Amino acid sequence: MDAEPRPAAARPVDYVWAVARIGIGWVFLWAFLDKAFGWGLATPAGKAWLAGGSPTTGFLKGTGENALGGFFSALAGQVWVDWLFMLGLLGIGAALVLGAGLRIAAVAGGLMMLMMWAAELPLANNPFMDEHLVYAVVLAGLALTNAGDTLGVGRWWGGTPLVRRYPVLR
């Protein structure tokens, strides 16, 4: 009987990517939790999603004077946009923290960051670069380096029959 090959030992850079993955995952999860429950840091309790508030209204209504403001302002507060945004925050955050499904989380998170970047154009403090673009690049790096394998369930997840059959789920 052949023994299972031992996974390669994690390198220091693998831990850096893992900590970045967990940190950015927590940013997405916290945004979901605060907007859903209104824990009073960015979202007051009375404006929580579960209290009838809209998690997209504040940010998107504030884009009215920006280059693409008309488009984004029209999306603000629509039920389908609120649901898509909140499910995106939850799914991306959970995938990153757990270390599974990083490819889909990176694409979805990158698109979310690009949309938020576009909503703020023109930028106030830089001709084109802001944290949304940096997050999008880091998300791509997380997926490309299999950052879920260190301090996460990525190695196990990648070995499941489902993911071996559909590698995009890695």
pLDDT digits (tens, 9 = 90+) for 2-34: 455 556 778 999 999 999 999 999 999 999 999
Tokens representing residue 21 in the block? 């993955």
Tokens representing residue 54 in the block? 């809209």
Q: How far is CA 127 from CA 116, 122, 131, 136, 144, in A?
A: 16, 7, 13, 17, 28
Q: What is the dihedral of CA 71, 56, 18, 132, to 10 degrees?
A: 40
Burial category of 135 from C-beta neighbours within 10 Å (exposed 0-12, middle 13-18, buried 19 and up): buried
- What pLDDT score was predicted for residue 69? 84
- What pLDDT score was predicted for residue 10? 82
- What pLDDT score was predicted for residue 6? 58
Contact 136, 112 (CB under 8 A): no
Residues of the chain with pLDDT under 70: 1-7
Pick the closest to residue 37 from 52, 23, 22 (CA basis): 52
Radius of gyration over every alpha carbon of the chain, rounded to an integer in angstroms: 18
Beta strands in the chain (DSSP E): none
The reported pTM is: 0.91
What is the domain partition of the chain in residue ranges? 12-40+79-169
